[in-house]
Structure 1
Amino acid sequence: MVQNLARRAALVDAAIEVLAREGARGLTFRAVDVAAGVPKGTASNYFANRDDLLHQVGGQVHLRLAPDPEMLVDTMRAPRSRELVDTLMHQLLDRMNRDPAGYLALQELRLEATRRPELRAAMTETMQANFDSYVQFHVDSGLPGGAKTVALLYLAMTGLVVEHLTLPEAMRPFAAADLVSALVARIVPVE
């Protein structure tokens, strides 16, 4: 059967929404069909099994959360400084705010990976490659700090975004944007 690539992409995006809303247990082919607004049985024609669907979601969610290349080029015209890192981290928070389902689905994938060795291996490979690319971008761009700075920013931003998207009231009276600036000021050296 020849598959429609646009429909496949729509099914994967629907799966991301289901995963974010219902968790891994709620991610069924039927739930994806309903979320995508397609006839019953459509998702099962596009994905060999649930593991295949989870792997496809893993690939797509990273694309959804990636920075806009044109915006990044514009941003990187600024002098290399702590202020530029602050801008980049605020842009990251903005992307997560624009697509909270994408980020929450990524967290669900991480949790599901603790129970599925193949998914764990795939997620580890993807996340390690992403982290390596973050370090390479940071260093190649001449931003202040090195690999450890990137690791600390990554860990701090991951925690901040999880709290911000899941239990924002728990961070009162602090606004997420203010916390981003505070953590950048504490982590990124002045050069």
Structure 2
Amino acid sequence: MVQNPERRTVLADAAIEVLARDGARGLTFRAVDREAGVPAGTASNYFANRNALLTQAAERIHVRLRPDDATIAAMARSRPAPSPEVLERELTAMYHRLAVQQIDYLALLELRLEAIRRPEIRAALTATMRANLEQNVAAHRESGLPGSDVDVVLMYLALSWLIIENLTLPGVLEGYDADRLIAALTDLVAGR
């Protein structure tokens, strides 16, 4: 197996792009090579089989969805004292940041569907999703913002589904403003 980490990352990113555009059925080594702009056969040199490629995409997806370290540090430096208003502002900002990452969310939906049928994909995706959730709970706890660990899980689920609903079936929530929904969620969590 070839060991060039930068090339492996480029191929995993290309796999995510192909998943979002063509779905899991369109994910082939040839399609990944084309998307990555590399010679034919490159992806098959890096990944033993399609499951390995899907697993790598499942592990990579949250790196792409996570804000970069500079953004996280800037948010921490500029955060005022914990309050329901700060919680609402941060949830709203998170929603808008993630909502524009449509490619990543579409690929994540395809990976979730593949996880139903492929235990190795389920294991990889579960591990990354679980680690992401645990990081969110720990960061929220450390921040002093309103809400318990269970509240954080509920906010995670609510924001995730809000993004998915607006991405896949936007007409369902027609007439409901996402920012107002997030404000109502904050009211529930913070007891405002």
Q: TM-score, normalised by structure 1?
A: 0.90
Amino acid at match of 1:74: A
> Would you say the 8 A contact 1:164–1:176 is kept in 2?
no
Aligned residues: 190
Matches within 5 A, 1:30-49: 30-49=30-49
TM-superposed deviation, 1:72: 2.7
Question: For residue 15 of structure 1, what is the aligned residue in structure 2?
Answer: 15
What is the SS of the residue equivalent to 1:63? helix
Quote the residue 1:52 is aligned against: 52
Separation in 2 of the partners of 1:104 and 1:188? 31
How far is the alpha carbon of 1:3 from its aligned partner?
A: 4.2
1:145 is matched with which residue?
147
1:183 is matched with which residue? 185
When the two structures are superposed, what TM-score results if normalisation uses the length of structure 2? 0.90
Distance change (3 Å), C-alpha of 1:95 and 1:151: same
AA matched with 1:136: A
The answer to whether 1:128 aligns with 2:130 is yes
CA-to-aligned-CA distance 1:80-130 (integer Å, 9 cap, x gap): 112222222222222223321112211211111111112212222222222
* 2:176 counterpart SS class: coil
Q: Is the 8 A contact 1:138 1:150 kept in 2?
A: yes
RMSD of aligned residue pairs (Cα, Å): 1.8
Instruction: Give, as a single letter, the amino acid of the residue that structure 1 aligns with 2:80.
Output: A
4+ residue runs over 6 A deviation: none
Unaligned runs of 5+ in 1: none
How big is each residue's C-alpha offset from its partner over 1:3-53, in whole Å with a ceiling of 9 and x where there is no partner? Answer: 443322221111101111111111111111121122221111111111111
Equivalent pair of 2:59/2:124 in contact (CA under 8 Å): no
Which amino acid counterpart does residue 83 of structure 2 have in structure 1?
S
